[in-house]
Amino acid sequence: MAAGSRDDADAVVVADGPLADRSWRLLEGQSDVGWVIAGKLLARKRPQLLPVYDKVVRCAVGRPRPSFWLALHAALRADDRSLHCRLLKLRQGAGVSETVSALRVCDVAV
């Protein structure tokens, strides 16, 4: 799959309505599962695709529109993926395994 088509596929997954959003809404609708727990469960299940969005992250970055997932997806691809590359350099500098995704490095950095 070409890089552009992978980006497009990722964007479809995190867009409002499809897949991740519906999964988040189903989880969040369960008793004793709030928006933070729902998001963390999804991020744990798909660490290469979904970032953590909790109260700490919301305090740091606010409430991007249309969604945090789409805003971060766009930011990681902007300027020839400069943010993504910076996160990978942080991971390397910290001596963290390459199995840790750029999203997880972002989670820790935020």
Instruction: Give domain limits for the chain.
Output: 3-109
Asked if pLDDT for residue 39 goes beyond 70, the answer is yes
What pLDDT does 74 receive? 87
Average pLDDT rounded to a whole number, residues 27-47: 89
Q: Are 57 and 39 in contact (CB under 8 A)?
A: no
Nearest 5°: CA angle at 86, between 80 and 88?
105
Radius of gyration of the chain (CA): 14
State pTM to two decimals: 0.70
Mean pLDDT computed over 42-67: 86
pLDDT per residue over 85-98, tens digit each? 999 999 999 999 99
Confidence of residue 18 (pLDDT cuts 50, 70, 90): low
**Phi, psi values for residue 34, rounded to 5°:** -90, -175
